[in-house]
Structures are given as structure tokens and as C-alpha cells.
Structure 1
Amino acid sequence: MRNKVILILCIILQISLLSGCWSKKELDEISILSGIGIDNTDNDQILLSMQVILHREMKIDSQSGKRGKEKPTQIVEVIGNSLIDANRNYLLQTGRKGYWSHISVIVIGEELAKKGITPILDILERDNEIRQRTLILVAKGEAKDILMAETIDLEVVQAYNIKDMIDSSHNQGKSAKVDLHKYFLMRSKDFNSCFVPGIHTIKTTENISSLELTDTGIFKENKLVGWFNQNETRGLLWILDEIYNCITKVNYPGEKSDFVIIETLRSRTKVKPVIINNTLKKIVLNVSAQGKIARSNEHVDLRKTKIINEIEEATESVIAHKMEDSIKKGKEFNTDIFGFGEAIYKKAPKLWEEMRDNWDDIFLSIPVEINVDMEIKRTGLISNSSKSKGM
């Protein structure tokens, strides 16, 4: 009897595994989207630029190994009173439902970002079809121009090209990287300050535009309030402990007006609120980093410990200045995008409850101490650089 029961249970289990895909979507019934651009129109409607992958053009000739001559994507522009309305209007124009699960990037137009993106974020956060790992950017200009720009030869889909740009530049400390999940986490905190990488078009030829990552958009209450330049962005990444591999140009020796390049191999930043007698005295940032000499000059003798120590000190000064510039700009916008409030909450939750309502004022006046410790671990295969003899 027991064996029969076990046999019946096994049969039921096997039947459940053969039930098939109840939510399947046929390829000829949907449009696979790779990227989305969102702008506002003159009458405050939503202009949705949807980059559609033309799967027939993506086919590769089995003998030549080359793709077709036609572009593998097409931009479809639709207008609606809201993001949902515009997406439904896409169905009216194409006869197919836009499939959002494969979207790599969402680009927000600059004018729309300045007016506020709360209604758009609310939809993106509620819709389970949109992956939370989708990258979000803000355009310097219109978002539709970003998706319509030419790709480089290494990638034929512009949205995938943008994703690759973000991944590589973030690893090198040149750009921030923010996906929907990270943005929602920043927004959910008490400070409601966020940042998003910026992107713009550049003219490569008379009629062709390419793309370039530029600056970092700073948001407060989901409105774009300003931009961090590249140096301020680098300082922000140092503070947030998001430096993985980057180079730092250091003037050394100063009297020779020459420079040394330090490549950071690893780093760690700790944010430490100093609290005495239940009063916040200051924020201390401790940076511990290791690097190597990537480029020296003829005036530097790397065999001398004294020289190495001086280069380390010069590098520490450059890093600290970038962090100071970032904090100064952040205070100008009155946006705590550095996580200072979160650090206070973790260390002293009761004190944070007392400070929360007045954090904007406290953030502007709280002193920040920066300590950088750079250790050069490697100097390369040669100790001295060759002197230039000219041409």
C-alpha cells in the first residue's frame, strides 16, 4: 500500500512538470525593446521613444558571418498623457505589445528631469515586467536623440552600447552606475537625494552623432537640480567606496611641472560619524588605497624610499581634493547623496530620529574630515624613466 502511494505521488509530480508555459509569448505577437527614451512635449505630454529590435535583421549569414545591411533596430515614437498611456498607444501604431523585460537602459530627457519624474518612477517600480537591474541615465538634451545616435562598430544596438559604456567607465572611476533598484533604494531613504549618470550626443561627422558619457545628474525629490563634473563625480565615487580601478594624475615633482600617473589597484572608504554626548560633531572619511606607478618621468628616482613617500602624499592630496570638491558641490545643492545620514542612522538610530526633520540644515553645516592613506605597492619593471632626446 505504501509503495502505491509513493508511486501515485511521483506520477502527480511528473504531470505537474509537463504542464508547459502558461504565460508564453510568441515572437510574432510582441516587439522586443532594448532601450527607452522618455521626454516631455510642449503641452506636458509624455514622448516615449522605444528602440525596437528587428529580429529578422539580427540574423547572421552562416557563411559570411556578417549581418544584414539594414539597421537591426528601429525607433518608434509615441505620445500619451502618461507613461502607461504612451505605451498603450504603441500598440495602436504597431499592432504589437512592447516587451519591456529585455530593456537595458532607460534615458530621461533633461527638461523632463527638471520638472520631476515621480509619476514615471512610480510606474516603473510597480510594473513587474521591468527588471530592476535596468540602467537609468539622464540626457543632456532630449532622450530620443540618445537612442537615435550612431553606434560604434563593436555593437549594433545602441541601448546595449550604452550599457557597455556605463559598465566599463564605472569600473575605471569615470562615471556613476545606477540601475532602477539602486535609485529606488536611494529614494526610499529619509534624505530623498539621488544621482544618475549623464549622457549626451557629440558630432563625429557632419550628419552623424555619437555618444559620450558626461557628468552626473543630481536629483532631489526626484527633480534634477544640477550636475557634478567628472572630477566631482570621481570624488563622489571615492566617498561611496565605488572605486575599483582608476588612474590619478599627480604633479611630481612640482618644480619640474611634470607628472606621475598612479593606477589604483584596490581601495576602501569608511564613513564614520563622530558623536560625543549625543551630539554629532563631524563626519570622518577614512580612505585606504593601494596603487602602482603606471607612468613616471625622468625626474623621479623610484629606487629612493623618500621619493615613493612623497608621491604617495601627493596622490593622497589629489584624492582628498576631489572628495572635498564633491562635498562642496553637494552642499550647494543641499543633497546628501554621500550616505552621511545613513551612517548616522546605523550608528545612533535614536539620534538620527532627533535630527531627521532638520537634516537639510545640519548637513550644510556639519564639518567633514578626510583622511587618505595611499600605499604604492608596485613601481613597474624599471626604476627610472628614459630621458627624452627629442626628434
Structure 2
Amino acid sequence: MQRYLVGGALRDEWLGLPVSDRDWVVVGATPEEMVAAGYRPVGRDFPVFLDPETKEEHALARTERKQGHGYHGFVFHTGADVRLEDDLVRRDLTINAIARGDDGQVVDPCGGRTDLQNRVLRHVSPAFVEDPVRLLRLARYYARFAPLGFRVADETMALLREMVRSGEVDHLVPERVWAETERALMHDEPQLFFYLLRECGALARLFPELDNLFGVIQPIRHHPEIDSGVHTLLVLGQTAAANDPLAARYAALCHDYGKARTPAHVLPGHRGHEAAGVPLAEACSERLGVPKAVREAAALVTRWHTHVHRMHELRPATMLELFERIDAFRRPERLEILIAVCSADVHGRLGFEQRQYDQPATARRAFAAAQAIDAKPLAAAGLRGAQIGEALKRERIRAIATAIGRH
């Protein structure tokens, strides 16, 4: 029985990146021998075991054969007769098809180390097209590694387009799409994930709401980049640059979906795109199975983001209505997500990256003043039921007016 460190751990080590997970392939062993050696079985589709001490995953070397559509359309074969090279050549990219034994010997049958040195993302074999998840993973790798100078090999890009043309990408299950998207959104340049999907044609299949924004014009005075799709990905990039949480990054992706619904006679303006975008954001979230809190944040940001942009124009009563509509008094983090996306929205425009934006400070000052008003003294004063609610609203509006200097 021999074990080899494989895939991402070696790749990241050689790139000088932090190594978070270490995966191993075991050659020349049976499941029974692994259990006898103290390893705990955890694999469902094929034999995977946890080291009793390190808890690192050890998978038996395996081969695979396609017999259906999508991620689950494979039959796997494991056995003591499966060679390490047989396991490596079934992997997705050459930079992931490298192994190193405990003795330090490197096994690299696909030229992965050369591609690492040349900064190339290249498929291992034509079998790449058989698993649509690989398309998403490659797009995620591109988002992660393009800032290091990596590019996608031309022949690999051709395979991605073939996966779209053949309909293989249509067999992606929603949970896998969201799982890869969620990880991509948290990279330093998540916009690259979506640009690659668009280049190979998959964006229209997986994110039609986003794809429909490309080619939709905006007023050049406010949007020198003109294109709504380009603007959306600039905004997404700004949320990543600010290290905003997942909910803000996903909301940035959705916030202008409604611009694709703007009637031609209204262009380049987009009156009403906020309300028009809510059902589109909801449809996208529903289709992908986006977690509830993230989904709700995206819908709220889509509907109310221009209110923050107009914060200096809003009446105190309208400010209070905004805070109530987003349920900020019970969930103040929602206001922070809204503000984060609005800041990214302002700076996600060509030449506006350093534009001064004071509206968030006004919003926070107004909210803090309203939040400080306590209902208990109102009840102690003898008010009951609806009277408390009405008085609380009056006091909060008065507090907001004082805080922002509008008496």
C-alpha cells in the first residue's frame, strides 16, 4: 500500500500559496485493508477514508466511465490493481493531476508542473467535457488564479464552448452551481468567474438575468462604462475589494437585474428598474437554491439601493420608512449590506473609483438616532397599543431630523 499527496495541496505549495486541505490517493489497497489499518470510511460514491490522526482524506485510486448525464452520470472502479497514473489522468486540469509520494517522488503524467510554470489552465483529456461541474470549477480557478497570470488554454476554451453547445452544461444541478458560485464570489476578483462563463456561452444558461444586462446601455454621464453588464461586474469587484461578506457580493450581482427590463423608449435611463429587478433576483435565487438570508438581502438591495444614493434628498419620514422596510431595527446587518452594495455601486464605474460618497454616513447617523428611541417611556406615559406605535414613529422621525440637521 502506497499513498500520494495529490492535487490542490501540491499546486498551491508550488505557487507559494497557503495550503488549507491535503488530499491523498492510496494505491494497492482494498477498502478492507484501509479499515484494518484504522482509517474511517466516509465516501458515498467511491471509497474515501479519514486518517485516524490527521483526519485528512485518503481516496483509493480509481478510474471512471461515463454512462449518463451530469455530475452523477459516472461509474467508478477502484481496486488494488488501479495504478496511480490511471487515477491522475481522469482528473480535470493538468495542474491538479500531479502526485508526490511520501519518499518525495513526483508523478506528473500530464505535464502539470510545466503548465504551472507557464501559468496555463489546461484540461487533462477530452473526457473533461463529460462532467459539467468541471466548467464551473475551471471558471472558479480562473477567478482565483488569473490575478497570478494564469490563462485558459485555447483548446480548453474550445471544450468549454462544446459543453455549452452539446447541452451538457444544462445538466448541472442547482446545488453544484451555487456551491461553485459561492466559492467564486469569495475570491479576490470574483467578476472573472462570470466573465469566463460569458466567454464560453455558459452565462446565458446559468445566469440569464446577468447575461441579459450585457448590451443594455446606461447614461454615459453617470456610467462611462455604458454597458449595464460591465457595470454590474465592476460593482461586484468593488465588494470584493472592500472584503464585503457573501450576502453583499451576491446582492451586488443582482442589484441591477431590472435594467434588462427597461423599455427601449426609456433608455438610456432606467426609471423603475429597482422594483422590476426584484422578481428577477428572486427567480435567480430560487433557481440556484441560494440560502435564505443571502436571498433576502439580494432582494432588499435590489429594491432599495437608490434610496441610499438619494439619502441627502430624502425626508426624515422616508428615511424611517426605508429602515422599516428592510427590517433594520431587528436586523441592523441588513442596513450595512445595503450600504456596502451602494458604496460599490457608486465606485463600480469607470473613473468613479475614488468618488466621494457621504450618503452612508448620513444613513448610519439617521438610523442610530432612530434606533436610540425607546418605546418603554411611551408606555410608561400611559400610551397603549397603536398609540405607542404612532408616538414611536413621530419620535423617531424627530430624532432623525435632529441628527441630520433638518429641523
Using the size of structure 1 for normalisation, the TM-score is 0.32
In the superposition, the TM-score normalised over structure 2's length comes to 0.31
Higher RCO structure, 1 or 2 (CA under 8 Å, sep 6+): 1
More helix by share: 2
Per residue, is there more strand in 1 or in 2?
1
